[in-house]
């Protein structure tokens, strides 16, 4: 399996955006599979990075799934197996859309794929407008 660890962090229009996603990819698979093996401690204290635990944080996990599936569709590697090993963020800086973008970047890094500038621009527009929508909304990147 190929691994990738990506941190995405920006401040745009005085709003923070941060997420970190670690995953492993195996493309010699007969069918797609998403597995979450996150084992973080969750919320520990205000101002600290939250590491997604095995249970809970379903909105962040769903955001990661949306980003991964979009990234795979762009690369046309639709039958890869993904093991999402870690998701990190902060309640004040992280929402499912930001996690989804970080997950897409991690997939592309693992597969050594360079998305077009149009794809990146489209996703960043979605990300930088994500705080204008409900904070737990699952993104639609396609």
| CATH number, position 65 | 3.30.230.10
Count: domains in the chain: 1
Is residue 139 situated within a structural domain? no
- pTM of the shown model: 0.95
CA 25 vs CA 36, 72, 92, 116: distances in Å: 12, 11, 29, 21
Which pLDDT score is estimated for 60? 98
pLDDT in tens, 64-96: 999 999 999 999 887 889 999 999 999 999 999
Q: Which domain holds residue 71?
A: 2-132
Is residue 60 situated within a structural domain? yes
Which pLDDT score is estimated for 78? 76
Confidence check: pLDDT of 53 > 80? yes
Average pLDDT over residues 102-108: 98
Is residue 137 situated within a structural domain? no
């Amino acid at each position: 399996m190929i691994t990738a660890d990506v941190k995405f962090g920006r401040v745009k229009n005085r709003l923070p955006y941060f997420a970190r996603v670690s995953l492993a990819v195996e493309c010699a698979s007969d069918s797609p599979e998403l597995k979450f093996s996150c084992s973080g401690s969750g919320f520990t204290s205000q101002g600290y990075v939250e590491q997604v635990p095995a249970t809970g944080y379903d909105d962040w996990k769903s955001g990661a799934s949306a980003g991964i599936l979009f990234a795979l569709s762009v690369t046309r590697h639709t039958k890869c197996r993904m093991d999402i090993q870690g998701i990190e963020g902060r309640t004040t800086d992280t929402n499912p859309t930001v996690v989804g973008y970080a997950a897409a970047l991690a997939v592309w890094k693992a597969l050594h794929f360079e998305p077009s500038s149009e794809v990146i621009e489209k996703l960043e527009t979605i990300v930088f407008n994500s705080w204008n929508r409900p904070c737990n909304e699952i993104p639609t990147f396609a």
